[in-house]
């Protein structure tokens, strides 16, 4: 039996995914978390085999949560979930140890295939995500500028887009405020912007933020 932990800040999403997994005879939902912080505690308590991890959540977010749960349980398999099929962060999640990448709109059978694949030690990325990222690599002019950010810069970026200030980001990511400030300036320089307003506009332009929601 594959024990799966669901991590998403939207209860409706968790309910829908649980409904899919409960029908699989070889998969058991071991718990649900709405934040990365809760996920860390549940990994300690329940020792799941696979985590379905929302990329964008309040608090530390999916990237940092992935990094930390893998420190707790090195053989844990993490599948990142996003609402965006052109999310610029699969490589960042891969860097911190995620083995799979799915959109929340993927077919139920694909989610089950991904869980079984990563549980057996294989990487899995949905075909639509893979196709779009291949096209982005071929089309140099269309490349997303956020892909040039490091893993840590990406984590800080996501916190900035959540409206967090330097001290709050410092507390969430266990960095000094000075280090957070340095990362913020690097992000500005790499993206050729000057402030958070321009950053938010750029995030909307490239689909990281939607007009109606951030997640």
Instruction: Write the pLDDT tens digit of every residue in 120-164.
Output: 988 887 766 665 554 444 344 446 788 788 878 887 887 898 788
3 state DSSP class of 210: coil
Give pLDDT, residue 56.
82
Instruction: Write the pLDDT tens digit of every residue in 180-209.
Output: 999 999 999 999 999 999 999 998 887 666
Q: State the burial class of residue 12 (Cβ atoms within 10 Å of its Cβ: 0-12, 13-18, 19+).
A: exposed
Q: Residue 85: pLDDT above 60?
A: no
Give pLDDT, residue 141.
43
For 136-141, the CB contacts below 8 A with 24+ separation are 136/86
Full set of structural domains in the chain with CATH: 2-136 (3.40.50.2300), 145-205 (1.10.10.10)
Smallest CA-to-CA distance from 184 within 152, 162, 206, 207 is with 152
């Amino acid at each position: 039996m594959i024990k799966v932990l669901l991590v998403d800040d939207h209860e409706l999403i968790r309910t829908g995914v649980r409904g899919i997994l409960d029908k699989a005879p070889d998969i058991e939902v071991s718990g649900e978390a709405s934040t990365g912080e809760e996920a860390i505690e549940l990994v300690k308590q329940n020792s799941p085999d696979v985590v379905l991890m929302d990329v964008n959540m309040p608090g530390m977010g999916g990237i940092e949560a992935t990094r930390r749960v893998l420190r707790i349980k090195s053989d844990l398999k993490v599948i990142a979930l996003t609402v965006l099929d052109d999310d610029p962060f699969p490589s960042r999640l891969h860097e911190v140890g995620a083995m799979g990448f799915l959109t929340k709109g993927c077919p139920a059978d694909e989610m089950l295939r991904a869980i079984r694949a990563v549980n057996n030690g294989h990487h899995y990325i949905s075909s639509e995500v893979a196709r779009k990222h291949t096209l982005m690599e071929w089309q140099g002019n269309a490349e997303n500028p956020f892909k040039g950010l490091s893993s840590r810069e990406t984590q800080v970026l996501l916190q900035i887009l959540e409206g967090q200030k330097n001290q709050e980001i410092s507390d969430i990511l266990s960095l000094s405020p000075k280090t957070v400030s340095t990362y913020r300036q690097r992000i500005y320089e790499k993206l050729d912007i000057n402030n958070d307003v321009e950053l938010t506009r750029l995030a909307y332009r490239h689909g990281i933020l939607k007009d109606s929601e951030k997640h």
